[in-house]
């Protein structure tokens, strides 16, 4: 910016809630997910578009936080994501350091990154610096409620579409059921494809020890969220007791929480969700933190955004694609994003900014 040039500031914020029915419900209590679209306008007449996201809880609260407390604080501030993020996080801290606050903050941060990319005429990947032409995608299923036949059919679809890595849910009432289901999926995948399992915080420490011991013969690439996400000590104990890598982080909302997990030696893989941590600005900081510990990163969900970020990270990063749950699959985009998944690889050639416009 030239010396003395006027600084573009935020002039206004609007938001709307989109309720998106899932083509394959994630369970009887999760028939839909929620996107809260955020539009920022600036003092020089530009606009940036971002979003917040939550499957079941808090969409109304996020919308209220955005249109009331955040909008009032934001107007008149410089329209730069890094400048806004730290001040806004401190402003919201009274309501909680993470959770609803960071989910709402993400909508603002993403809109400001969209604005920056559009001003530069660059898609997000090229704005941040493209390091990879494509990223591997793994097939992910929210399938604990599936019958065994439905689960096997899903695994067969992933094999047919060329996936070399697959993730399934575990945590049925009986460990014998989990063993049967994991064995059936491993049979479909064969010995060479990677198999991850996700317990979604369903076990306590003794149960997790027993379950992982029973499932380990099926060559697990990682076990995800075996314990309550807040149970730092138990995660460290479990990791010391098992040879199966531990993955967690989708329910960690701040860099401080990730630091605590990494300091404790709680995991082998961190999985920040770019919305839940508050947007691209903190996501990049969390990646840098994990790299300093030698811990790998696997972004959680949202492939149209996480995939763009994966192409900018120093090491190759695997991207999660839940079957029929991408924005494209849900039919909520006004135009194609430019993020394409084919043959289990993701590529990104987006319009300037995030490339995401909701219908």
Concatenate the DSSP letters of all residues of 278-323 into one string.
Answer: TSHHHHHHHHHHHHHHT-EE---S-HHHHHHHHTTSSS---EEEET
Q: Report the predicted TM-score, pTM, of the whole model to 2 decimal places.
A: 0.96
Positions in the chain whose pLDDT score sits under 70: 1-5
Sort residue 322 into left (φ over 0), alpha (ψ -120 to 50) or beta. Answer: beta
Taking alpha carbons only, the member of 296, 245, 305, 246 closest to residue 273 is: 305
What is residue 7's predicted lDDT score, i.e. its pLDDT? 85
Distance CA 93, CA 277 (A): 14
SS3 44: coil
Q: What tokens appear for 246 in the block?
A: 């531990």
SS3 355: coil
Q: Buried b vs exposed e over 306-343: b needs ≥16 C-beta within 10 Å?
A: bbbbbbbbeeebbbbbbbebbbbbbebbeeebbbebee
In DSSP terms, which residues pair with 35 in a beta bridge?
A: 18, 53
Is-contact 51 356, C-beta < 8 A? yes
What is residue 1's predicted lDDT score, i.e. its pLDDT? 47
In DSSP terms, which residues pair with 353 in a beta bridge?
A: 123
What residues contact residue 223 under an 8 Å CB cut-off, 6+ apart? Answer: 170, 196, 197, 198, 199, 212, 215, 242, 244, 245, 246, 247
First-to-last C-alpha distance (Å) of the chain: 34
Cα–Cα–Cα angle for 349, 345, 102, rounded to 5 degrees = 70
Residues annotated catalytic, as ranges: 169, 300
What is residue 5's predicted lDDT score, i.e. its pLDDT? 60
82-141: pLDDT as tens digits? 999 999 999 999 999 999 999 999 999 999 999 999 999 999 999 999 999 999 999 999
Q: Domain boundaries in the chain?
A: 9-120, 125-348
Q: What tokens appear for 25 in the block?
A: 């419900």
What is residue 6's predicted lDDT score, i.e. its pLDDT? 74
Fold of 9-120: Enolase-like; domain 1 (3.30.390)
SS (H, E, C) 99-126: CHHHHHHHHHHHHHHHHHHHHHCCEHHH
Sort residue 76 into left (φ over 0), alpha (ψ -120 to 50) or beta. Answer: left
Taking alpha carbons only, the member of 140, 135, 137, 138 closest to residue 125 is: 135
- Span 125-348: which CATH code? 3.20.20.120
126-157: pLDDT as tens digits? 999 999 999 999 999 999 999 999 999 999 99
Query: 9-120 and 125-348 share one CATH topology?
Result: no
Query: Is residue 90 packed enough to be buried (19+ CB in 10 Å), middle (13-18) or exposed (0-12)?
Result: exposed
């Amino acid at each position: 910016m030239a010396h003395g040039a006027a600084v573009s500031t935020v002039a206004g914020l609007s938001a709307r809630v989109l309720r998106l029915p899932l083509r394959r419900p994630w369970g009887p209590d999760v028939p839909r997910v929620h996107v809260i679209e955020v539009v920022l306008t600036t003092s020089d007449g530009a606009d940036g578009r971002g979003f917040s996201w939550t499957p079941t809880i808090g969409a109304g609260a996020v919308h209220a936080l955005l249109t009331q407390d955040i909008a009032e604080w934001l107007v008149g501030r410089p329209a730069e994501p890094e400048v806004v993020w730290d001040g806004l996080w401190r402003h919201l801290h009274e309501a909680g350091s993470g959770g609803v606050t960071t989910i709402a903050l993400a909508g603002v941060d993403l809109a400001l990154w969209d604005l920056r990319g559009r001003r530069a005429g660059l898609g997000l990947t090229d704005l941040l610096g493209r390091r990879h032409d494509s990223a591997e995608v793994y097939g992910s299923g929210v399938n604990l409620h599936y019958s065994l036949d439905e689960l096997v059919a899903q695994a067969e679809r992933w094999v047919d579409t060329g996936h070399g890595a697959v993730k399934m849910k575990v945590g049925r009432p009986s460990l014998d059921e989990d063993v049967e289901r994991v064995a059936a999926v491993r049979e479909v995948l064969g010995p060479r494809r990677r198999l991850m399992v996700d317990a979604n915080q369903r076990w306590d420490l003794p149960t997790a020890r027993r379950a992982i011991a029973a499932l380990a013969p099926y060559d697990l690439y990682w076990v995800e969220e075996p314990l309550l996400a807040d149970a730092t000590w138990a995660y460290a104990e479990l990791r010391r007791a098992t040879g199966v890598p531990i993955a967690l982080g989708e329910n960690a909302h701040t860099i401080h929480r990730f630091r605590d997990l990494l300091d404790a030696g709680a995991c082998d893989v961190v999985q920040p969700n770019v919305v839940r941590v508050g947007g691209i600005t903190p996501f990049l900081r969390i990646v840098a933190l994990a790299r300093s510990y030698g811990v790998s990163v696997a972004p959680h969900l949202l492939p149209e955004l996480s995939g763009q970020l994966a192409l900018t990270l120093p090491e190759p990063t695997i991207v999660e694609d839940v079957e029929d749950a991408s924005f494209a699959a849900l039919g909520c985009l006004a135009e194609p994003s430019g993020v394409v998944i084919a043959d289990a690889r993701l590529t990104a050639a987006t319009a300037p900014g995030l490339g995401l416009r909701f219908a």
